[in-house]
Amino acid sequence: MWIADKWKDYEVIDCSKGEKLERWGDYLLIRPDPQVIWDTPKADKRWKHPNGHYHRSAKGGGEWEFFSLPQQWTIQYDSLTFNLKPFSFKHTGLFPEQAANWDWFGRKIREAGRPVKVLNLFAYTGGATLAAAAAGAAVTHVDASKGMVTWARENAKSSGLEDAPIRWIVDDCIKFVEREIRRGNRYDGIIMDPPSYGRGPKGEIWKIEDAIHPLVKLCAQLLSKDPLFFLINSYTTGLAPSVLSYLIGTEVVPACGGHVKAEEIGLPVTSNGLVLPCGAAGRWEV
C-alpha cells in the first residue's frame, strides 16, 4: 500500500462505525466513509467536539451540521496551499491520500533533468496539477467543471504558482484528448482521476466501466517519445489495483516498455497506527 504519511496539517485521528474523525488544520470534521465497517469504541474525546459533521441520509446523500466552522480555510502540504470549504456530498475540495502520488511523480519530474510536460485529466481542484507544477513541469489541467477549474486556479494563486506554466482547460476529457492527438501534442506524464459516473459540460455521460479502457488507449497515443510516467487513480469499487495494472499493461507497456505497479492508497490513523484504505492507483514508469 502507498501511504500518504507526510502531512502536518491533516490527519485521520480515528475511524469507527462508518465514520472518520479528521483534523484539517485547526478544524475537526466527522465524515462518513464506506470503508469503515468496524465497530470499535470512539474513545477519543474529540469525537464529541467537531467543527463540522456530515450526516448521511438513509435515502441517499446527506447534509452538513456545522459548529463554528468558517466558510473557507486553508491547509498546506510542503509548499502547496489548498483552499478548503465543505460542499455537497461530504467533500472539502481535497483528497489528502493523493499526496502519496504527488510525492512519487514530483520526484520523477525533478530528477528528469529536462523540461517535462504533464497532462492532468479529471483534475478537480488541482492537487496533482500544483504538485507537478511545483516540481517544475508545464501542466495542462483539464476538468469538465468550470467551478472546479476556478477553485484550482485559486489554489495555484495561494500556492505562489499563479504564473507557473499551467494551461487551464474546461472541457470533456475524452474530446480534449482526441483533439490533442489530432494536434500532435505529446506529454511526458499523464495523470487521470476519473469519476465512477459524471457528465461533461455539454451533458456527455461518463461511466467508468465503459469508458476507462478506451480513454487509456487514447492517452497512450499522447505519450512523448521519452515518457516519464502514467498514473490512474480510482475510487470505484471493482477497479482493484490488479485491474488498473492490467489496463496500463495492455496499452502503455507494449508501446513504451517500462513496468507497472498498482496498489491501494491510504492514510495513517493516529489512534491506532493502522492504515485507512482510500482507493487504488496504478503507476507506470520506465
Domain at 15, CATH number? 2.60.40.1180
Element spanning 153, H or E: helix 146-158
Q: 143-171 as b/e, with b when 16 or more CB fall inside 10 Å?
A: bbbeebbebbbbbbebbebeebebebbbb
Q: What pLDDT score does 58 carry?
A: 81
Domain count within the chain: 2
Share of the chain above pLDDT 90, in %: 90
Residue finishing a domain among 50, 84, 118: 84
- Same domain assignment for residues 62 and 118: no
- Could you tell me if 204 and 178 are in contact, meaning their C-beta atoms sit under 8 angstroms apart? no
Residue finishing a domain among 34, 49, 84: 84
Average pLDDT over residues 184-206: 86
- Same domain assignment for residues 144 and 32: no
Residue 200, pLDDT above cutoff 70: no
22-26, 55-59, 200-204: segment of lowest average pLDDT: 200-204
Residue 208, pLDDT above cutoff 90: no
Place of cell 492517452: 219
- Same domain assignment for residues 147 and 267: yes
- Same domain assignment for residues 75 and 102: no
- Same domain assignment for residues 182 and 236: yes
Q: Residue 135: what residue type? A: A
Residue 238 structural domain: 96-285
pTM: 0.95
Q: Which of 244, 243, 236 is nearest to 278 (CA)?
A: 236
With residues binned 3-state (H G I as helix, E B as strand, rest as coil), the percentages for the chain, rounded to 5, are 30, 35, 40
Residue 199, pLDDT above cutoff 80: no
pLDDT tens-place string over residues 127-177: 999 999 999 999 999 999 999 999 999 999 999 999 999 999 999 999 999
90: left (phi over 0), alpha (psi -120 to 50) or beta: left
Q: Residue 172: what residue type? A: D
- Same domain assignment for residues 167 and 259: yes
Residue finishing a domain among 25, 49, 84: 84
- Same domain assignment for residues 52 and 154: no
**What value does the mean pLDDT of the chain take?**
95
Q: What pLDDT score does 201 carry?
A: 65
pLDDT tens-place string over residues 63-75: 999 999 999 999 9
Average pLDDT over residues 179-192: 98
Average pLDDT over residues 20-39: 97
5-19, 114-128, 190-204: segment of lowest average pLDDT: 190-204
